Each structure stands twice: as structure tokens, then as C-alpha cells.
Amino acid sequence: MFECFFPDRREESAWTIDYAKLYSEGYRGVIFDIDNTLSVHGGPPPDATKQLFARLHELGMFTCLLSNNKEPRVKPFAEEVSSPYICNAGKPSVRGYEEAMERMGTDRRTTVFVGDQLFTDIWGAKRTGIYSILVNPIDPHEEIQIVLKRYLERIVLHFYKKC
């Protein structure tokens, strides 16, 4: 019933994922959501995120930021982590995910998506056929429309745990 929203995997955070293992499994590109995945909503990239992107690039992984936010939010963040980006992505639309893969030179078999929301991030990745990893939101203080979606996410994740 809710399978289209189920992530392929769950992790505590974007920083706890074993990217070297993903690389050894053939993954070459990582698409990331920004807000509440890599930083607090609207905040700059923390040092841990900058270090993560440096480590990914050293591994030989390509990265791309995929955000529904506008360019004034996304561009400076992307510049600080040296990554291409797509703003106004319209997630869960497949279009942004496909464009991100094109920019990285990867495909569905070699791309991973990392995000914190089921109904935009994960659903879009699943619709695109990309391996998806759901991480816990960094900051529980969110805009009201996201808070309401989190209640629905809890219901879906209840069934995810039973699988």
C-alpha cells in the first residue's frame, strides 16, 4: 500500500553512510537534498558537510544537489561544497533527478539519492528508479507544512518497519 514511499535504506544521517562501500558496489553519483539533510533549514553547510563532499570527491564520487528551493538559497550552498545543483526541482517530479544524473554522467544503476522527506525526496527517487536512502531530519523545528507531512510520514514508516 505504501511501498512507493519506502526508502531502499534508512540511515541516521548523511554523515553516517558508508560511501566507500557504495562506491565498491558500483555507485558513482550521489544526489542530495539540502535542507534538513545536509544542514538546518536555510543554513549554510556545516563543516561536517564540507568534509563529506571533499571525501566523496576524493573517492571519485560525483555529487549534485537537488532542491525545491530557489537559486539564492541553493547556489551559495553548492559553491561552498563544490557541487553542481538544480534548484526549483519540483520534487517528486522525475525531471530533476534525471537532470542531476545527466550532470553527473551517471545513470539509474550508478546513482544514490539521500534525503529526509518521504513524500518529495524518496518518492521522487523511487519514481525515477534510483536507490534511495532516507536520513533523519537534522532539526525538528520545521515549517508548518513540513510538520504536517511528518505526521503522515510516521504512518508510512510504521508499515515500513513491519516489512
Q: Is 119 strand, coil or helix?
A: helix
- pLDDT of 141: 64
Model confidence at 118, pLDDT cuts 50, 70, 90, reads: confident
pLDDT of residue 147: 60
pLDDT confidence bin for 6, thresholds 50/70/90: confident
For residue 50, what is the domain's CATH number? 3.40.50.1000
Alpha-carbon distance of 10 to 116, in angstroms, equals 10
Decide: helix, strand or coil at residue 83. Answer: coil
32 vs 20: CA distance, rounded Å: 16
Phi, psi of 79 (to 5 degrees): -65, -40
Find the helix packing angle between 47-59 and 71-81, rounded to 10°: 60
Domain boundaries, position 153: 3-162
Report yes or no: 66 and 86 within 8 Å, Cβ to Cβ.
Answer: yes
60-86 pLDDT, tens per residue?
999 999 999 999 999 999 999 999 999
Residue pair 36/135 in contact (Cβ under 8 Å)? The answer is no
Cβ-Cβ contacts under 8 Å for 87 (sequence gap 6 or more): 67, 68, 69, 70, 71, 73, 74, 75
Average pLDDT, the chain: 91
pLDDT tens per residue, range 8-25 = 999 999 999 999 999 999
- Please give the tally of structural domains in the chain: 1
Distance CA 95, CA 78 (A): 19
Nearest alpha carbon to residue 153 among 1, 38, 5: 5
Number of helices (H), then strands (E), in the chain: 6, 6
